Structure 1
Amino acid sequence: MTDVDARFEAWFAARDWEIFDFQRETWAAYANGESGLIHAPTGTGKTLAAWFAALGAWLKNSDDDNATPPLTLLWITPLRALAADTTAHLQSSAAELGLSWTVERRTGDTKSHIKARQRKKLPSALVTTPESLCLLLSYAEHDTLFGHLDGVVVDEWHELLSTKRGVQLELALARLRALRPELKTWGLSATLANLDEAGAALTGGGAMRCIRGAMPATTHIDALIPATIDRFPWAGHLGTQLVAPVITALESAATTLLFTNTRSQAELWHQALLRARPDWLDKIALHHGSLDRGLRERVEAMIADGTLRCVVATSSLDLGVDFSPVDQVIQIGSPKGVARLLQRAGRSGHRPGVASRILCVPTHAFELVEIAAARRKAQRGEVEARTPLSGALDVLSQHIVTRALGCTSAGGVAVEQLLAEVRSAHAYRDLSDAQWQWTLDFVTRGGSALAAYPEFQRVVLDNGRLSVTDKRIARRHRMTMGTITSDAAMSVKFLKGGRLGTVEERFIAQLRPGDVFLFSGRLLELVRVRDLTAYVRAATRKNRQVPRWAGGRMAISGTLADAIRELLEAARDGDYRGSRGEPELAAIRDLLEVQRRWSALPAADELLVEHVTSREGRHWFFYPFAGRLAHEGLSALVAWRLARMHAASFRFSVNDYGFELVTRNKVEFSGDELRAAFSPVALMEDLLACLNAAELSKRAFRDIARIAGLVFSGYPGSQKSARQVQASSGLVFDVLTRYDADNLLLGQARREVLERELEFNRVRAALERISAQSLCVTNPPRLTPLGFPLWVERVASQVSNESWRDRVERMTVQLEKAADKNTGKSVRK
């Protein structure tokens, strides 16, 4: 045993921890100069595997263990929230090993004087984000700063993969590998299916070692089954009605993380828990990404020292932060995906050998099926794949400016050198010469349509080298670098007091002074809006609105949908406990029996179609189980195709299971016509024809234009509003559409609309699957349990003089009476 190995053995032994084989394998591979991906369950020691690998490699090559090395390791984290916690863990373990390594963080939250110092000398290990890394690469001294870099660790790689932030990081890593050809790159992940593809994206397609954790953590996934279950559920109708059993669950554990899928839902549950247990005022906290950084840090510290009983959180606490005291996780609503469920479950225990536990609380009856489906897939070890993005020219444009800026003082960067770097990134391995030349023309001239405007001539091409000579352009670029885009965020501040966080501008724009809303766990009254700040005071009136942030349209994954179809097919065959004994299926047996009697329970190889006639007209319900976003595209496509066969106009609604088309026209559709409506032939052309593709593309173009540098959102303290940015990007969009129709960014906007807004690939896969399925067309006498939630979705979106909730309640009573009459049961109150 070497001195290094003995030092590590002693450190683990002092904590009574076991060194796992995958950790030793990582240490050996890193010392051998290899790159790779560590895939292991949350809490089993991935961080220590990567960190000790870097320390061990340095120790074995160092002449002086007491020396403080220059920057040797970059630790990339996807969230600022992880940076402080990660930095603390790396610092403490290095000190306990007797090493003089310095560890610091650099994110958007880092104070300016610290950033200035770091530009002169970086620590031995730097914890940072993709954006902050790219900002460092834009400075002339970056080649010196990274001159001794030995390795890069990318934490939670699955969170960056398949995003533009991941593409941005791939380009940054390509630059670092050009500076340091022997650079070792390692990724950490707990929930990935396509490991080889994920590793190739991380390493640029180079040699890669995939190391799997040998000790999978046990995960217990349970569901809170309501005492009574409606046979005609609708999304969210349980709301916070299950607070009482959730309180009981909280009482059984010392500390609990209660996850919701949206920030709005987190605000509501935080208030509901406090109403139920006002004596827990100082024991229940709220944590989500729109709250002020200081508020979140205080909550994180209170979790770490065990002073909180419950934290209501969103994905802001999904990742990486090590909260060992947490011994229970509760998930409100369907997890929507297997990987997300396992990631959140892993927040409990979070120690090697300790089982993770998660209690799922349904917000409507069908979510019990989703919970059972997620457990089934988790037990099989089947999680979702994350497909890497490729060819994003807006990100490439930004990177070219960054590289030109970082080499300006040295006479610029050679075009051929930069092209080789770019193509070494996995996302641009297939970049054509024509795409490259177009992008160069775009950053140097603005392209053919914008060449007359000097502000779009950001990079100077001189004698085969690229540089940025305009200081104003350099400043603007550094201020707006990054790929994270969203509606403008407005600060929320007390008239006399501190800052609470941010809400999206579109929400505040709907309020008038005096209106009350719920935010940061408080009832707030809007006083005035000035300079992108909403000034508020504590409110006493109880009627309030809840902010709804963008990003709340979460759809079930394809992996989860497959398991849902399996379970429904089992119920159709009379197996209400499933092959693995799912109690959730047995709990909703009455609901499923009504569905089977009035219509059908679809088999996995069937497309169920229901035709119902009511006072509203003719309803057609289709159940592809392809997820909400895909159904938005499918509903528009099918309605457009059916309307071409028979003159009719349709209204529609969608959810994760299917979609409804309703028309007042007296039309009938044959089986052949329905099959034609779901044909995968001419999909792209028909989908673009039935949608307002130009308007959707214009909306998507706003984000592309900001990333590519076509629009400027303003300097700190004087940001433009979302409306101003949209107007600017819309003007550019119109100019390019008219005078440069072949502009590649316009084509990218159309592709992103199809995939991001409508999940085009999933739509195509659904149509191909349906083409091989049999049609099961039924004519139920009334709305079925599967159709009722879709009807509610549409009713809730309509403007009516009566409360839509009252209308839904009346319909529920009628349907329940009909169901009881069919079975001979007494009518339930």
Structure 2
Amino acid sequence: MPAADLDPVLLHHIVNSLGWPDLRPLQADAVAPVLAGDDALVLAPTAGGKTEAAVFPLLTRMAAQRWTATSVLYVCPLKALLNNLLPRLETYAGWLGRRTAVWHGDVPASRRRAILFERPDILLTTPESLESMLVSTTVDHRTFFAGLQAVVVDEVHAFAGDDRGWHLLAVLERLTHLVGRPIQRVGLSATVGNPTDLLGWLQGSSAGTRTATIVAPDTPASRPVDAEVELDFVGSLANAATVIASLHAGEKRLVFCESRQVVEHLGQLLRAEGVTTFLSHASLSTDERRRAEQAFTEARDCVIVSTSTLELGIDVGDLDRVIQIDAPATVASFLQRLGRTGRRPGTTRNCLFLTLSGEALAEAAALLLLWRRGWVEPITAPPEPRHIVAQQILALALQEHRVGDQVVAGWWNGLRPFGTDVLLRHLVDEGFLDSDQGMMFIGPEAERRFGRRHFMDMTAVFTGAPEFTVLTGRAELGRVDPGLLTDEVRGDRLLLLAGRSWRVTYIDWRRRRCFVEPADSGGRARWTAPAGAIVGTSHELTRAVREVLLGADPPVQMTRRAASRLATERDELSSTVHPGGTVILRDGGEDLRWWTWAGYRANATLAATLTEVIDPVQRYDDRQIRLRDNLTPSEWRQLTADATQRLCLPQPDNKALEGLKFNAALPERLAIATLAARLSDLDGAATILKEPTRFISVT
């Protein structure tokens, strides 16, 4: 029995303190590989017991091998998730006389000093806080991390798909170099489409040299058939609020929205309907979110409206229902959200989709079509992270104060693509680094661009849009887009934040703060997307929308009004889809559009490649590309005949460059090349070009 291999004291408490008769299959399967020191990827739905699957065998190793000081790092993408996990991990470690602490940006300086002195056995933290510890002049990182043996990366899929993943990998490699031995890496993840690739990514420079194990038992809870999913069309957010207010009285409901604006407006509408409502999104203050989540946990007949902030493993208690407004961007996100329900014995995972438009209805149907087929997006790291390489070289110079130019690359242990000579020379040539007899250190240009607040800006790999902090008295409510404070208005300037209306009383422009007082009603909510953010749906999801329009129905329950509206959507877009290939359509006027249904990045790639046939303005979206209005079928065939052999990367605009943090530390051509690679989908574009194309004219 695998549980018998755990520490006897730990096993006693699992049975007697937790009241578990045995480990779950996932936890039992994880014991042997984690005890053996293997790198591992543990896959399970939300609330599947992944934390215990990693921590129980690691605590057993800690006791058996007498690890001392800080030997385990538990890394999470969200501070709120760390705070939520701390009591549980303190309990588990305490059974063996071990200590746990949390370190992130909200932890006060006095507590950090105590942590440095105490050196807890398990430290819960974020990649950014790890970076700040390595570069801090107040942390003796060599001593503090000397006993490090293992790292647990929770929600590893949330890291791997963006630049935070590259940053995390690079920091882990520096820690490995610092302690001078391999560090066991255990990733915890929801279901992904490419677990082997994800585990190899997590291993970093050790991939192929260390034993790696995927722990993913097939359980009924992980299968799509074991969920009750309903698809509805309501037409407006006000109607959605009415439906939510009238259904499931007495139950605890979690409503997911795809933007902070929608969260705010829906929260306001639900309160007007008399529903006890709480809100959670990234622009609410930490205290405001914590109060809402705590109140929701303790309440019964209520709703919490959230963006993806509650998609990850933060515990908000037992849920009865998950409701989704429109559709999430990925099947993986839907699986996370679905996994919030069905945790109690005798209950089933469930989700109700309330769609606000015909387009959103088709997208939700497409996502559910893919889900029922068992398809989940593969998690892939963004290509060519040259800006993260530049950031890491500068961070290493801060960490070591002076570092030899011949040993820089060795700090990442051969991890591709870190340690490039081209970037190193550029950083020296442009003054980001100074050099003296082969030793490099921070230069004046790095001081000028990144030196604010003791280089703290260098620990985060994303550039956030500038926002104003909103306060009522001394209490912080959250942050808003500055446009809400500069737009011309008549009468009082009203904001909508935390689902409540506020009247602006004073704006401190220098300190970027505004003060508010409660208002009876009204107000606007708005936030600007980060500069250069790539919008649009994937190739696979957009192709699934095309399938839906061609008649495919997801095998889920669909309301009569959803079926009726979907029929209307199919009728209205019937001329844009054909089962035999793509369609080039001249619809009444002069516009000629190529309906590829290829996804945003594939269409960007096609537009960059087929400049001879594309409208000079190069207008495109997920579904179609605008062509030259005088293009003929014969010209089309001639000019696209060899297109699959000459696919081009899209050209990013200046706004996109601004959104690439640390792009100032790159040669412009390399910054452009990085963004171009990320904006492209060569495989998706090639797939579309191989399909037949039909010219259709509708009058």
- TM-score bucket (shorter structure): 0.7 to 0.9
Q: 1:286 to 1:250 in 2, by over 3 A?
A: farther
Separation (CA, whole Å) in 2 of partners of 1:595 and 1:69: 67
Amino acid at match of 1:196: T
Q: What secondary structure is seen at the aligned counterpart in 2 of 1:55?
A: helix
Percent sequence identity is: 22
Separation (CA, whole Å) in 2 of partners of 1:353 and 1:173: 42
Separation (CA, whole Å) in 2 of partners of 1:246 and 1:635: 42
The Cα shift of 1:509 comes to 3.7
Do residues 548 (structure 1) and 511 (structure 2) align? no
Alignment counterpart, residue 584 of structure 2, candidates 596, 605, 609: 609
Structure 2 residue aligned with 1:337: 330
Q: What secondary structure is seen at the aligned counterpart in 1 of 2:185?
A: strand
* Contact 1:191/1:342 (8 A) holds in 2: yes
The Cα shift of 1:161 comes to 0.7
The Cα shift of 1:245 comes to 2.1
* Contact 2:77/2:159 (8 A) holds in 1: yes
Q: What secondary structure is seen at the aligned counterpart in 1 of 2:60?
A: helix
The Cα shift of 1:42 comes to 1.8
Amino acid at match of 1:115: R
Q: 1:539 to 1:580 in 2, by over 3 A?
A: closer
The Cα shift of 1:354 comes to 5.7
* Contact 1:555/1:627 (8 A) holds in 2: yes
Q: 1:769 to 1:314 in 2, by over 3 A?
A: same
The Cα shift of 1:144 comes to 0.7
* Contact 1:577/1:583 (8 A) holds in 2: no
* Contact 1:592/1:601 (8 A) holds in 2: no
Separation (CA, whole Å) in 2 of partners of 1:5 and 1:630: 55
Q: What secondary structure is seen at the aligned counterpart in 2 of 1:47?
A: helix
Separation (CA, whole Å) in 1 of partners of 2:130 and 2:296: 29
- In the alignment of these two chains, the number of paired residues is 674
Structure 1 residue aligned with 2:481: 504
Q: 1:624 to 1:39 in 2, by over 3 A?
A: same
Q: 1:462 to 1:31 in 2, by over 3 A?
A: farther
Alignment counterpart, residue 412 of structure 2, candidates 419, 422, 427: 422
Separation (CA, whole Å) in 2 of partners of 1:155 and 1:752: 28
* Contact 1:303/1:323 (8 A) holds in 2: yes
The Cα shift of 1:51 comes to 1.1
Amino acid at match of 1:594: D
Do residues 669 (structure 1) and 632 (structure 2) align? yes
* Contact 2:388/2:461 (8 A) holds in 1: yes
* Contact 1:527/1:535 (8 A) holds in 2: yes
* Contact 1:42/1:350 (8 A) holds in 2: no
Q: What secondary structure is seen at the aligned counterpart in 2 of 1:240?
A: helix
The Cα shift of 1:295 comes to 0.4
The Cα shift of 1:323 comes to 2.8
Q: What secondary structure is seen at the aligned counterpart in 2 of 1:641?
A: coil
Q: What secondary structure is seen at the aligned counterpart in 2 of 1:241?
A: helix
Q: What secondary structure is seen at the aligned counterpart in 1 of 2:268?
A: helix
Separation (CA, whole Å) in 2 of partners of 1:336 and 1:509: 32
Amino acid at match of 2:215: I
CA RMSD of aligned residues (A): 3.3
The Cα shift of 1:700 comes to 3.5
The Cα shift of 1:659 comes to 4.9
Structure 1 residue aligned with 2:59: 55
User: 1:322-333 to 2 correspondence within 5 Å?
Assistant: 322-333=315-326
Task: Give ranges in structure 1 of 5+ residues lacking alignment.
Answer: 63-67, 228-236, 451-455, 711-743, 782-829
The Cα shift of 1:19 comes to 1.3
Structure 2 residue aligned with 1:273: 270
* Contact 2:496/2:502 (8 A) holds in 1: yes
Instruction: Answer with 471-480 or 317-326: which moved more.
Output: 471-480
Work out which of the two has the higher radius of gyration on C-alpha atoms and give 1 or 2: 1
User: 1:214-613 to 2 correspondence within 5 Å?
Assistant: 214-217=218-221, 218=223, 219-226=226-233, 238-251=236-249, 254-277=251-274, 280=275, 283-307=276-300, 309-350=302-343, 355-408=348-401, 412-428=402-418, 436-443=420-427, 445=428, 447=429, 450=430, 456-457=431-432, 459-467=433-441, 476-494=454-472, 496-511=473-488, 514-530=492-508, 531=510, 532-540=512-520, 542=522, 544-550=523-529, 554-569=535-550, 571=551, 577=553, 586-588=563-565, 590-591=567-568, 594-595=571-572, 599=575, 601-603=577-579, 605-613=580-588
Separation (CA, whole Å) in 1 of partners of 2:329 and 2:349: 19
Amino acid at match of 2:517: R
* Contact 2:609/2:646 (8 A) holds in 1: no
TM-score, normalisation: structure 2: 0.87
The Cα shift of 1:21 comes to 3.3
* Contact 2:151/2:186 (8 A) holds in 1: yes
Separation (CA, whole Å) in 1 of partners of 2:437 and 2:158: 40
Amino acid at match of 1:606: G
Structure 2 residue aligned with 1:177: 176
* Contact 2:9/2:96 (8 A) holds in 1: no
State the Cα deviation string for residues 379-417 of structure 1 (Å, max 9, x = none).
332111121235423222222232233233xxx444444
Separation (CA, whole Å) in 2 of partners of 1:779 and 1:158: 45
Amino acid at match of 1:769: T
The Cα shift of 1:146 comes to 0.7
Separation (CA, whole Å) in 1 of partners of 2:594 and 2:230: 28
Amino acid at match of 2:201: A
Q: 1:767 to 1:61 in 2, by over 3 A?
A: closer
* Contact 1:160/1:166 (8 A) holds in 2: yes
Task: Give ranges in structure 2 of 5+ residues lacking alignment.
Answer: none
Structure 1 residue aligned with 2:685: 767
Separation (CA, whole Å) in 2 of partners of 1:359 and 1:404: 51
Separation (CA, whole Å) in 2 of partners of 1:77 and 1:683: 39
Amino acid at match of 1:477: F
Q: 1:651 to 1:765 in 2, by over 3 A?
A: closer
User: 1:91-106 to 2 correspondence within 5 Å?
Assistant: 91-95=90-94, 98-106=95-103
Q: 1:198 to 1:600 in 2, by over 3 A?
A: closer
* Contact 2:271/2:277 (8 A) holds in 1: yes
Q: What secondary structure is seen at the aligned counterpart in 2 of 1:174?
A: helix
Separation (CA, whole Å) in 2 of partners of 1:620 and 1:499: 51
Structure 1 residue aligned with 2:648: 684
Q: 1:176 to 1:347 in 2, by over 3 A?
A: same
The Cα shift of 1:292 comes to 0.7
Amino acid at match of 2:187: G
Structure 2 residue aligned with 1:715: none
Separation (CA, whole Å) in 1 of partners of 2:87 and 2:169: 26
Separation (CA, whole Å) in 2 of partners of 1:336 and 1:184: 33
Amino acid at match of 2:11: F
Q: 1:214 to 1:636 in 2, by over 3 A?
A: closer
* Contact 2:257/2:307 (8 A) holds in 1: yes
